[in-house]
Amino acid sequence: MKTTALILLSTLLGLSPLLPAEQPAPQQIAAAEAQQTPFFRTALYPAWSRMTPQQALHDVRIAIAEARERYAAIAAVTPETATFENTFLALYEADENLKQTMNYVYHLHLTLGNREMQHMMETLMQETTAFRADGTYTARIAEVLRSAASAPWVQELSPAKQRFVQQTMAQLTESGIFLSPEQQARKAQIELELTKLGFRFSQYAKVSPQIWELVITDPDELRGMPQGWMNRAAQEAQQRGLATPEEPAWLINLTTSPANAVLQYCKVPETRRRCWLGITSAGTSRTLDTEPIIARILELRHELANLRGYKNFADMEAAHRMMGSGEAALAFINDLLERSKPAWDAYVAAEMQRYSQACGQELSAVNPWDTAYLNRHIPPQRNQFDVRAITPYLQEEKVIDGLLNIWSNLLGLKFEELPCVCLKPEETCPEGSVEVWHPTVRCFKATDAETGTHMGSFYLDLYKRPGKRAMAWCIPLRDGNPAADGSVGEPHLAALMANFASPAPGRRQLLHHGDLYMLFHEFGHLMHMMLGHGEIRPHCTAEVERDFVEMPSHLQENWIWEPEALATFAFHHETGEPLPAELAQQLATSRGSNPIESHMRMLLASKLDLELHMNYMERYRGRPLEEVTNEIIGPWLFPYTVQPPSELRTLTHVFSEGYAACLYTYKWCEVLAADAFNRFRQEGILNPATGAAYRRAILNRGSSIPAAEQIRAFLGREPSPEALIRQYSHP
C-alpha cells in the first residue's frame, strides 16, 4: 500500500521543527486550480515543459497548505461522524497533491539533473521536512483513527476496506505513534542519529576507493601491462606532478588507470598484491574506517526494535512482510545455502584444479590477487558461451517490438505508441500528442485487448545523457483510481528509464544481452504498476510487501534466455536472418552454468545481514568485524590464502540504502520467480492462458490481498526453491 501519508504522521513525532517556510493563506487553496498548478493531478499526461523548478516551489507550497487543511478536517472528526471516507481514506489522500508534486520533481531530478533543479530540490526538501516536522494534528488524528478502527461500522465494510483499516493501524503502530511521549522522543533521537550515520557510512564507502592510489617508478614492476594503459598511467602521474618526461612514473588508482587492469595483465605478483590491497581497502583506512559506524548503527537499530516491542531489528523489519520474522528469513537463507552447497563445492574444486594446473603444483588455497591474472591465461572450467555472439541479432527497435508483442499476447493487452513532442514552456502541445521531457522519450498506451479499457500509459526513456542518473529503473508517476462502480477508472502512469548508448545517425542501434536483461526486468515492474487494480485507490498500486516487489521483474527476465521468445525479435541487423537455432540453444544452455559465485555472494551477504541484526548484542558486539564475518560465513568462503576485509565495511544496501535485515528479499523473490516461471515452462512460455492466470492472480491484484495469497493463487501451492536451485546445479 502507499505509505507516504502514514510515514508523514510517524515522522512528525519528536523532531525539532525547521524554520517554517512562507505558506499560502488558506483562501489560496480554493483558487489552486485557477493558479495553474501543473504538478497536481489533472490530465493523465503531465505538461512537462511547465514543470520548472520555480513552478515546483509554487505548487509544493499550495499543496502543503491544502494538506494542512485536510489534516485539520480529519482531526475534527468525532466518533459520531466518523466514516471510512473521512478517516482512513482521507488520511491516505490528505497530502495527495504534495506527494504527486514531489514525485514529478524527483523524476525530473533523476532524469534531467540540471543544476537549477538540484538547488530547487534542496529548498523543496527543507520546506517539506519543515511541514512533516509540524506535529500539530498528529496526536489527535491518531486518536481519531484508533477510535474509528474499533467502531462497529468497520465490521460492515467490504473485505478490501477492512484490510486497509488493518494496514493503516498496523503502520501507525509501527511508526510509534502510540508510544509514550518519552518513548517518542527517544525514537526520534535514534532515527535522526541513524540517518546521520547512514549518510556518513555511504560517504566513507564512496570516498575510500577514490583516495587510494599507488605510484610506480620502475616500469619493470608493470611488465605485461597494455601500452595504452601505461600511457594513461604515465600521463596521470605527470598531470598530478608526480613525474616528468625525464623521470617518468605510473599512477595507479581505481578510476583513470584502474588497478583492476593490473590484476588481469601484470606479470609481477607483488604489484598485483599491492593493487589488490588497494582495491579492498574501502572502509578500512584509519580516517575512513566504517567499523565504528557499523557498530553504532547496529546498537541503535536494536534499541529501536526493542522500543517498538520487537526482540530484534530483523523481526521488526520482517513482521509485515511475507517472511514474518527474522528467524524465518534466516532459516530460508540457511536452507538455500545447504541446497547450494553441492554445486558450490564442485565449483570450488574445479577452480582449484585449474589454478593448481596453471601453477604446476597442488594448491589448497590461492592468492586472491592471482585469480584474475590466472583466469586470463588458463582455459575456463567449461566451454563458456560468449553472449556477444548474439549482439548482431539484437536490433533495438525489433527488440522493443518483440518485448511488447510477447507481453501483449501473454497479458491480453494492446500497446499503442502515441505521438510525442518536447516543448518549450511557452509552446502549446498539439492536439493528439503527448508531451515528453526529452526529444528521445517515447510514450505508449496500454489497453485491455478484450474490453478496450485504458489500463495505463508509460514512457520509455532509454538513452544516456548528461545529468541523467546511471543504471536503469522504473518509476510510478501516478497511480490509477477505481471508478465509483469498482471498475477501472483513472489509468496508471509510469516511466521505464535506461542508459543505452545513443544511436549513431544513420546506423541501427544494437543491444547487448545485458540490455535485454534490463529491459525485461524493468518491464516486469512496469506491468506490475500498469495493471494493479482494487476497490480503493490504495490497493491499485504495486506497493506490495517488500519481499515480493521484485518477483514480477525477476519472473520476466526468464524470457531473454528462451529460444522460443528470442525467435520473435532476434534478427540479424544487416541480413534480417533469424538468430540461428544453434546460437539460441547455446545461450539457453549457458544459463545452466550460471555463475554460482554470484548466487553464493548474495546468500552470504544476506546471512551476515540477518545474523548481525538478530544477534549482534548477544554474540558479536565489541568483536572485530573480520572475526565476526569469518565466524558466520567462514565455511562457505572461497579458499584464498588471505581473505579480503569484511564485505560489511562497504555494504551500503544494508547500512545506508534501506535494505537492513532485508537483503534476503532478493533471493526470496528469485525463488518465487523461478517457481512461477516453472509453470510457464510446463504450459508454454508464450501460452496466453498461463499469462492470463498470472495477470489475474498477481498483476491485477495490486496490494488488495497479501502477497502470499497471490503467489499461492498462481502456483496452486506453497512456493518451493527447487526451480532456482536447478539453475545453479551445474558449476
pLDDT at residue number 2 = 35
The residues spanned by each domain of the chain are: 4-175, 214-279, 390-545
Reply yes or no on whether the pLDDT at 640 is more than 50: yes
636 in the Ramachandran plot: left (φ > 0), alpha (ψ -120 to 50) or beta? alpha
Least confident of 103-117, 444-458, 517-531: 103-117
Q: Is 668 exposed, middle or buried (0-12, 13-18, 19+ CB in 10 A)?
A: buried
Q: What is the pLDDT of residue 210?
A: 76
pLDDT given at position 130:
81
CB neighbour class for 146 (10 Å; exposed up to 12, middle 13-18, buried from 19): middle
Name the 3-class secondary structure at 678. Answer: helix
> CA dihedral in degrees (11, 16, 20, 21; nearest 10)?
-60
pLDDT for 291: 96
Start-to-end C-alpha separation, the chain: 40
Dihedral pair phi/psi, residue 465, rounded to 5°:
-160, 160
Q: Which residues contact 203 (CB under 8 A, 6 or more apart)?
A: none
Please state at what angle helix 596-615 crosses helix 664-683, rounded to 10 degrees.
140
Class of domain 4-175: mainly alpha
Q: How confident is the model at residue 429 (pLDDT cuts 50, 70, 90)?
A: very high
What DSSP assignment string belongs to 531-563?
A: H---SSGGGSSS---TTTTTHHHHHHHGGGG-H
Mean pLDDT value of segment 497-525: 91
CA 665 to chain centre: 11
Q: Report pLDDT for 25.
A: 46
**Residue 14 clears pLDDT 60, i.e. is over it:** no
CB 322 within 8 A of CB 334: no
**What is the arithmetic mean of pLDDT over 642-666?**
92
Confidence of residue 404 (pLDDT cuts 50, 70, 90): very high
Does pLDDT of 345 surpass 50? yes
Name the H helices within 280-432: 291-307, 313-318, 326-359, 371-377, 396-411
**Averaged pLDDT for residues 372-389:** 78
Our CA angle for 9, 13, 14, nearest 5°, is 160
| Residue 729 pLDDT class (50, 70, 90 cuts) | low
pLDDT tens profile 596-633? 888 999 999 999 999 999 999 999 999 999 999 999 99
Task: For domain 390-545, say whether CATH 3.40.390.10 is its number.
Answer: yes
pLDDT category of residue 30 using cuts at 50, 70 and 90: very low
Please give the mean pLDDT across all residues of the chain.
89
What pLDDT, on a 0 to 100 scale, did the predictor assign at position 447?
97
Enumerate residues 6+ apart whose C-beta is below 8 A from 607: 330, 333, 334, 337, 632, 633
For 526-549, the pLDDT digits (tens) are 999 999 988 999 999 888 998 899
The residues facing 476 across adjacent strands are 494
* Joined grid coordinates for residue 302: 536494536
Whole-number Å distance between alpha carbons of 485 and 186: 46
The answer to whether residue 154 scores a pLDDT higher than 60 is yes
**For residue 426, pLDDT beyond 90:** no
Distance between CA atoms of 634 and 610, rounded to whole angstroms?
Answer: 16
Contacts of 231 (CB under 8 A, 6+ apart): none
Q: Which residues contact 667 (CB under 8 A, 6 or more apart)?
A: 332, 333, 336, 602, 603, 606, 724
Confidence at residue 260, expressed as pLDDT on a 0 to 100 scale: 92
13 pLDDT higher than 50: no
In this structure, what are the phi and psi dihedrals at residue 249, rounded to the nearest 5 degrees? -150, 165
DSSP, collapsed to helix, strand or coil, labels residue 498 as: strand
594 pLDDT band, cuts 50/70/90, is low
Segment 389-415 mean pLDDT: 97
Q: Name the band, by pLDDT with cuts 50, 70 and 90, for residue 593.
A: low
- What is the residue-wise DSSP string for 574-632? TT-PBPPHHHHHHHHHHHTT--HHHHHHHHHHHHHHHHHHHHIIIIITTS-HHHHHHHH
Which pLDDT score, from 0 to 100, does residue 286 have?
Answer: 78
- pLDDT average, residue stretch 11-19: 30
Give the mean pLDDT of 553-579. 96
Residue 651 has pLDDT above 50, yes or no: yes
Q: pLDDT tens for residues 662-708?
A: 999 999 999 999 999 999 999 999 999 999 999 999 999 999 999 99
More confident residue, 499 or 118: 499
Nearest-CA neighbor of 353 among 344, 343, 362? 362
Q: DSSP 3-state assignment of 251?
A: strand
Its pTM surpasses 0.95: no
What percent of the chain has a predicted confidence (pLDDT) above 90?
71
Q: Rounded to an integer, what distance in angstroms lies between the CA atom of residue 105 and that of residue 93? A: 19
pLDDT of 383 > 70? The answer is: no
Residue 129: the pLDDT is 79
- 275 with 214: CB under 8 angstroms? yes
* Measured distance CA(500)–CA(515) in Å, rounded: 8
pLDDT for the residue 17: 29
Report yes or no: 703 and 539 within 8 Å, Cβ to Cβ.
yes
Taking only the tens place, the pLDDT of each residue in 272-326 is: 999 999 999 888 887 889 999 999 999 999 999 999 999 999 999 999 899 999 9
Say if residue 467's pLDDT is above 90. no
